[in-house]
Protein backbone atom coordinates (compact mmCIF):
# COMPACT_ATOMS: atom_id res chain seq x y z
CA UNK A 1 0.00 0.00 0.00
CA UNK A 2 1.36 3.44 -0.90
CA UNK A 3 2.44 5.48 2.11
CA UNK A 4 0.49 8.68 2.66
CA UNK A 5 2.46 11.81 1.84
CA UNK A 6 3.40 14.24 4.62
CA UNK A 7 2.87 17.91 3.72
CA UNK A 8 4.54 21.07 4.98
CA UNK A 9 2.80 24.42 5.55
CA UNK A 10 4.16 25.66 2.21
CA UNK A 11 2.89 22.50 0.46
CA UNK A 12 -0.61 23.10 1.81
CA UNK A 13 -0.48 26.79 0.90
CA UNK A 14 0.46 25.80 -2.66
CA UNK A 15 -2.36 23.25 -2.87
CA UNK A 16 -5.01 25.71 -1.58
CA UNK A 17 -3.45 28.64 -3.47
CA UNK A 18 -3.27 30.87 -0.39
CA UNK A 19 -0.44 32.35 1.70
CA UNK A 20 1.32 30.54 4.53
CA UNK A 21 -0.14 33.12 6.95
CA UNK A 22 -3.63 32.02 5.90
CA UNK A 23 -2.72 28.41 6.71
CA UNK A 24 -1.49 29.45 10.16
CA UNK A 25 -4.76 31.33 10.71
CA UNK A 26 -6.70 28.19 9.77
CA UNK A 27 -4.64 26.18 12.27
CA UNK A 28 -5.25 28.71 15.06
CA UNK A 29 -9.01 28.79 14.38
CA UNK A 30 -9.20 24.99 14.36
CA UNK A 31 -10.51 24.87 10.79
CA UNK A 32 -7.71 22.65 9.51
CA UNK A 33 -6.05 19.74 11.31
CA UNK A 34 -2.27 19.56 11.70
CA UNK A 35 0.39 17.94 13.87
CA UNK A 36 3.93 18.72 14.94
CA UNK A 37 7.20 16.93 14.34
CA UNK A 38 9.55 18.71 16.72
CA UNK A 39 9.03 22.40 15.98
CA UNK A 40 7.70 21.86 12.46
CA UNK A 41 4.00 21.82 11.52
CA UNK A 42 2.98 18.95 9.27
CA UNK A 43 -0.26 17.79 7.59
CA UNK A 44 -1.49 14.52 6.19
CA UNK A 45 -3.26 14.31 2.84
CA UNK A 46 -6.41 13.27 4.74
CA UNK A 47 -6.22 16.52 6.74
CA UNK A 48 -6.30 18.55 3.54
CA UNK A 49 -9.06 16.47 1.98
CA UNK A 50 -11.15 16.87 5.15
CA UNK A 51 -10.68 20.64 5.09
CA UNK A 52 -11.61 20.92 1.40
CA UNK A 53 -14.67 18.70 1.84
CA UNK A 54 -15.82 20.70 4.86
CA UNK A 55 -15.42 23.95 2.91
CA UNK A 56 -17.45 22.49 0.05
CA UNK A 57 -20.19 21.47 2.50
CA UNK A 58 -20.30 25.00 3.88
CA UNK A 59 -20.51 26.47 0.39
CA UNK A 60 -23.34 24.06 -0.39
CA UNK A 61 -24.98 24.68 2.98
CA UNK A 62 -24.19 21.09 4.04
CA UNK A 63 -26.88 20.16 1.48
CA UNK A 64 -29.37 21.96 3.74
CA UNK A 65 -30.33 24.99 1.71
CA UNK A 66 -33.99 25.31 0.82
CA UNK A 67 -36.81 22.92 0.06
CA UNK A 68 -38.53 19.85 1.44
CA UNK A 69 -35.72 17.46 0.53
CA UNK A 70 -33.32 19.36 2.79
CA UNK A 71 -35.74 19.28 5.70
CA UNK A 72 -36.09 15.54 5.14
CA UNK A 73 -32.32 15.26 5.70
CA UNK A 74 -32.65 17.15 8.97
CA UNK A 75 -35.53 14.88 9.94
CA UNK A 76 -33.39 11.80 9.30
CA UNK A 77 -30.75 13.23 11.64
CA UNK A 78 -33.36 13.89 14.32
CA UNK A 79 -34.85 10.40 14.18
CA UNK A 80 -31.35 8.99 14.62
CA UNK A 81 -31.51 10.19 18.26
CA UNK A 82 -29.42 13.23 17.49
CA UNK A 83 -29.41 16.63 19.16
CA UNK A 84 -29.29 19.04 16.22
CA UNK A 85 -27.67 22.48 16.32
CA UNK A 86 -28.24 24.70 13.27
CA UNK A 87 -25.84 27.37 12.06
CA UNK A 88 -22.70 27.94 10.02
CA UNK A 89 -20.16 29.33 12.51
CA UNK A 90 -17.04 27.48 13.66
CA UNK A 91 -18.12 28.14 17.25
CA UNK A 92 -21.02 25.72 16.83
CA UNK A 93 -18.70 22.99 15.56
CA UNK A 94 -16.58 23.37 18.68
CA UNK A 95 -19.71 23.41 20.87
CA UNK A 96 -20.98 20.16 19.36
CA UNK A 97 -17.58 18.53 19.96
CA UNK A 98 -17.66 19.56 23.61
CA UNK A 99 -21.18 18.20 23.97
CA UNK A 100 -20.10 14.79 22.68
CA UNK A 101 -17.50 14.70 25.46
CA UNK A 102 -20.35 15.12 27.92
CA UNK A 103 -22.36 12.29 26.39
CA UNK A 104 -24.68 14.30 24.13
CA UNK A 105 -24.71 13.15 20.50
CA UNK A 106 -24.74 16.67 19.05
CA UNK A 107 -25.17 16.88 15.27
CA UNK A 108 -24.70 19.88 12.99
CA UNK A 109 -26.90 21.27 10.23
CA UNK A 110 -25.28 24.07 8.22
CA UNK A 111 -28.26 26.26 7.32
CA UNK A 112 -28.85 30.00 7.66
CA UNK A 113 -30.59 31.92 10.41
CA UNK A 114 -34.04 32.24 8.85
CA UNK A 115 -34.32 28.56 7.92
CA UNK A 116 -32.91 27.60 11.33
CA UNK A 117 -35.76 29.41 13.10
CA UNK A 118 -38.34 27.87 10.77
CA UNK A 119 -36.87 24.42 11.46
CA UNK A 120 -37.05 25.06 15.22
CA UNK A 121 -40.71 26.06 14.84
CA UNK A 122 -41.41 22.80 13.01
CA UNK A 123 -39.60 20.79 15.75
CA UNK A 124 -37.05 19.58 13.20
CA UNK A 125 -34.06 20.74 15.27
CA UNK A 126 -33.18 21.49 18.89
CA UNK A 127 -31.12 24.68 18.69
CA UNK A 128 -31.29 27.46 16.10
CA UNK A 129 -28.62 30.11 15.69
CA UNK A 130 -29.64 33.57 14.54
CA UNK A 131 -28.07 36.88 13.58
CA UNK A 132 -31.03 38.60 11.91
CA UNK A 133 -31.13 42.40 12.07
CA UNK A 134 -34.42 44.29 12.21
CA UNK A 135 -33.85 47.67 10.59
CA UNK A 136 -37.07 49.08 12.02
CA UNK A 137 -35.92 48.91 15.65
CA UNK A 138 -32.15 48.40 15.17
CA UNK A 139 -32.20 45.17 17.16
CA UNK A 140 -31.13 41.60 16.55
CA UNK A 141 -33.14 38.37 16.56
CA UNK A 142 -36.06 38.93 18.99
CA UNK A 143 -38.43 40.35 16.36
CA UNK A 144 -37.76 37.42 14.02
CA UNK A 145 -38.21 34.86 16.79
CA UNK A 146 -41.62 36.36 17.54
CA UNK A 147 -42.66 36.22 13.88
CA UNK A 148 -41.21 32.85 12.89
CA UNK A 149 -41.97 30.83 16.05
CA UNK A 150 -45.53 31.86 16.94
CA UNK A 151 -47.40 30.02 19.68
CA UNK A 152 -44.28 28.66 21.42
CA UNK A 153 -42.32 30.08 24.32
CA UNK A 154 -38.65 30.48 23.47
CA UNK A 155 -35.38 31.42 25.14
CA UNK A 156 -32.67 33.46 23.42
CA UNK A 157 -29.14 32.82 24.69
CA UNK A 158 -26.28 35.09 23.67
CA UNK A 159 -23.27 33.37 22.12
CA UNK A 160 -21.00 36.08 20.71
CA UNK A 161 -20.82 39.48 19.06
CA UNK A 162 -19.32 39.53 15.57
CA UNK A 163 -18.52 42.35 13.21
CA UNK A 164 -20.34 42.33 9.87
CA UNK A 165 -19.19 44.46 6.99
CA UNK A 166 -18.22 44.71 3.36
CA UNK A 167 -15.59 42.68 1.55
CA UNK A 168 -13.79 44.70 -1.11
CA UNK A 169 -10.71 43.98 -3.19
CA UNK A 170 -7.33 44.81 -1.70
CA UNK A 171 -6.66 48.50 -2.13
CA UNK A 172 -10.41 49.14 -2.54
CA UNK A 173 -10.12 50.17 -6.20
CA UNK A 174 -13.81 51.15 -6.43
CA UNK A 175 -13.53 53.36 -3.30
CA UNK A 176 -16.49 51.66 -1.64
CA UNK A 177 -17.33 53.06 1.79
CA UNK A 178 -20.84 51.90 2.71
CA UNK A 179 -24.39 50.90 1.84
CA UNK A 180 -25.04 53.90 -0.43
CA UNK A 181 -22.43 52.60 -2.86
CA UNK A 182 -24.88 49.87 -3.86
CA UNK A 183 -26.66 52.58 -5.88
CA UNK A 184 -23.69 52.85 -8.22
CA UNK A 185 -23.91 51.39 -11.71
CA UNK A 186 -20.19 50.51 -11.74
CA UNK A 187 -20.47 48.16 -8.75
CA UNK A 188 -20.98 44.39 -9.07
CA UNK A 189 -21.78 42.38 -5.97
CA UNK A 190 -22.16 38.73 -5.00
CA UNK A 191 -24.93 37.85 -2.56
CA UNK A 192 -25.67 35.35 0.19
CA UNK A 193 -28.72 33.10 0.00
CA UNK A 194 -32.17 34.20 1.19
CA UNK A 195 -32.42 33.84 4.97
CA UNK A 196 -28.73 34.23 5.74
CA UNK A 197 -28.02 36.87 8.37
CA UNK A 198 -25.69 38.75 6.03
CA UNK A 199 -28.38 38.80 3.32
CA UNK A 200 -30.97 40.15 5.77
CA UNK A 201 -28.54 42.85 6.95
CA UNK A 202 -28.01 43.92 3.34
CA UNK A 203 -31.69 43.84 2.40
CA UNK A 204 -32.77 45.79 5.49
CA UNK A 205 -30.21 48.49 4.73
CA UNK A 206 -31.26 48.64 1.08
CA UNK A 207 -34.90 49.00 2.16
CA UNK A 208 -34.06 51.86 4.52
CA UNK A 209 -32.36 53.66 1.63
CA UNK A 210 -35.00 52.93 -0.99
CA UNK A 211 -32.64 50.81 -3.10
CA UNK A 212 -34.11 47.85 -5.00
CA UNK A 213 -32.00 44.73 -5.32
CA UNK A 214 -33.05 44.40 -8.95
CA UNK A 215 -31.04 47.54 -9.74
CA UNK A 216 -27.76 46.12 -8.40
CA UNK A 217 -25.47 44.11 -10.66
CA UNK A 218 -24.89 40.64 -9.25
CA UNK A 219 -27.65 40.85 -6.61
CA UNK A 220 -29.24 37.66 -7.94
CA UNK A 221 -25.97 35.72 -7.90
CA UNK A 222 -26.04 33.79 -4.62
CA UNK A 223 -23.69 31.55 -2.69
CA UNK A 224 -24.01 29.95 0.72
CA UNK A 225 -20.94 30.85 2.78
CA UNK A 226 -18.88 33.84 3.85
CA UNK A 227 -15.81 32.08 2.50
CA UNK A 228 -17.31 31.74 -0.97
CA UNK A 229 -18.33 35.39 -1.30
CA UNK A 230 -14.98 36.57 0.07
CA UNK A 231 -13.16 34.36 -2.45
CA UNK A 232 -15.30 35.77 -5.27
CA UNK A 233 -14.29 39.31 -4.33
CA UNK A 234 -10.65 38.32 -3.92
CA UNK A 235 -10.68 36.67 -7.34
CA UNK A 236 -12.13 39.74 -9.06
CA UNK A 237 -15.51 38.16 -9.82
CA UNK A 238 -17.28 40.81 -7.74
CA UNK A 239 -16.47 44.23 -6.32
CA UNK A 240 -18.26 43.83 -3.01
CA UNK A 241 -20.02 41.35 -0.72
CA UNK A 242 -21.37 41.30 2.81
CA UNK A 243 -19.74 39.01 5.37
CA UNK A 244 -18.06 38.58 8.73
CA UNK A 245 -14.73 39.98 9.86
CA UNK A 246 -13.41 36.56 10.85
CA UNK A 247 -13.47 35.26 7.29
CA UNK A 248 -11.91 38.47 5.99
CA UNK A 249 -8.84 37.63 8.08
CA UNK A 250 -8.50 34.28 6.31
CA UNK A 251 -8.78 35.22 2.64
CA UNK A 252 -5.96 36.86 0.74
CA UNK A 253 -6.59 39.85 -1.49
CA UNK A 254 -9.54 41.45 0.28
CA UNK A 255 -10.12 44.29 2.72
CA UNK A 256 -12.89 44.51 5.29
CA UNK A 257 -15.05 47.59 5.90
CA UNK A 258 -16.82 47.21 9.27
CA UNK A 259 -20.50 48.17 9.16
CA UNK A 260 -22.43 46.57 12.01
CA UNK A 261 -21.67 44.77 15.28
CA UNK A 262 -24.12 41.91 15.32
CA UNK A 263 -25.58 39.67 18.01
CA UNK A 264 -25.08 35.98 17.27
CA UNK A 265 -27.55 34.13 19.51
CA UNK A 266 -28.94 30.66 20.10
CA UNK A 267 -32.69 30.08 20.24
CA UNK A 268 -34.31 27.13 22.01
CA UNK A 269 -37.82 26.13 23.00
CA UNK A 270 -38.64 27.04 26.61
CA UNK A 271 -40.10 23.57 27.22
CA UNK A 272 -36.67 22.06 26.50
CA UNK A 273 -34.74 24.40 28.78
CA UNK A 274 -34.41 22.02 31.75
CA UNK A 275 -33.47 18.93 29.75
CA UNK A 276 -30.09 17.30 30.27
CA UNK A 277 -29.00 18.22 26.74
CA UNK A 278 -29.82 21.94 27.10
CA UNK A 279 -28.33 22.24 30.55
CA UNK A 280 -25.19 20.52 29.29
CA UNK A 281 -25.00 22.99 26.40
CA UNK A 282 -25.41 25.95 28.76
CA UNK A 283 -22.78 24.58 31.12
CA UNK A 284 -20.30 24.35 28.25
CA UNK A 285 -21.06 27.80 26.83
CA UNK A 286 -20.64 29.38 30.27
CA UNK A 287 -17.42 27.52 31.03
CA UNK A 288 -14.01 29.18 31.15
CA UNK A 289 -12.58 26.55 28.79
CA UNK A 290 -15.10 27.25 26.04
CA UNK A 291 -14.73 31.02 26.37
CA UNK A 292 -10.96 30.74 26.14
CA UNK A 293 -11.27 28.83 22.85
CA UNK A 294 -12.44 32.07 21.22
CA UNK A 295 -11.07 34.97 23.27
CA UNK A 296 -7.99 35.30 21.09
CA UNK A 297 -9.52 34.46 17.70
CA UNK A 298 -10.10 37.62 15.71
CA UNK A 299 -13.70 38.47 14.92
CA UNK A 300 -15.29 37.22 18.16
CA UNK A 301 -16.35 39.26 21.20
CA UNK A 302 -17.31 36.78 23.94
CA UNK A 303 -18.64 39.39 26.39
CA UNK A 304 -21.94 38.12 27.76
CA UNK A 305 -21.50 34.62 26.36
CA UNK A 306 -24.16 32.30 27.79
CA UNK A 307 -26.42 35.03 29.13
CA UNK A 308 -30.17 34.74 28.60
CA UNK A 309 -31.08 37.89 26.70
CA UNK A 310 -34.80 37.28 26.19
CA UNK A 311 -37.68 34.93 26.93
CA UNK A 312 -40.45 35.27 24.39
pTM over cut 0.85:
no
% of the chain residues with pLDDT over 90: 63
pLDDT at residue 127, rounded to an integer = 97
Stretch 100-108: mean pLDDT: 90
CATH number of 164-261: 3.40.190.10
- pLDDT for 192-221, tens place per residue? 999 999 999 999 999 999 999 999 999 999
pLDDT at residue 2, rounded to an integer = 44
* Cα distance between residue 162 and residue 197, in whole Å: 12
- pLDDT for 303-312, tens place per residue? 999 999 999 9
Tell me if domain 58-162+263-311 and domain 164-261 are identical in fold: yes
pLDDT at residue 4, rounded to an integer = 59
Q: Is the pLDDT of residue 81 over 80?
A: no
Under the banding of pLDDT at 50, 70 and 90, the label for residue 80 is: very low
CATH architecture of 58-162+263-311: 3-Layer(aba) Sandwich (3.40)
pLDDT at residue 75, rounded to an integer = 52
Which sequence spans correspond to the domains of the chain?
6-56, 58-162+263-311, 164-261
Amino acid sequence: MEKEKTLSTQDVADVLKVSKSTIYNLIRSGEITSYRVGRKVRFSEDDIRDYINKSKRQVAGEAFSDGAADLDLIESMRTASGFIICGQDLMLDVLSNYMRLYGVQALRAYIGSYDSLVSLYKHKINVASSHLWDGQNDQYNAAYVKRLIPGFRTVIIHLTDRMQGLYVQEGNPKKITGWDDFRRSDITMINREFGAGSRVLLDENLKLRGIYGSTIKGYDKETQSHLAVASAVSGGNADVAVGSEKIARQVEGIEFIPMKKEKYDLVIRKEDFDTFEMQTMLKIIRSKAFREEFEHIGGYDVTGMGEIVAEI
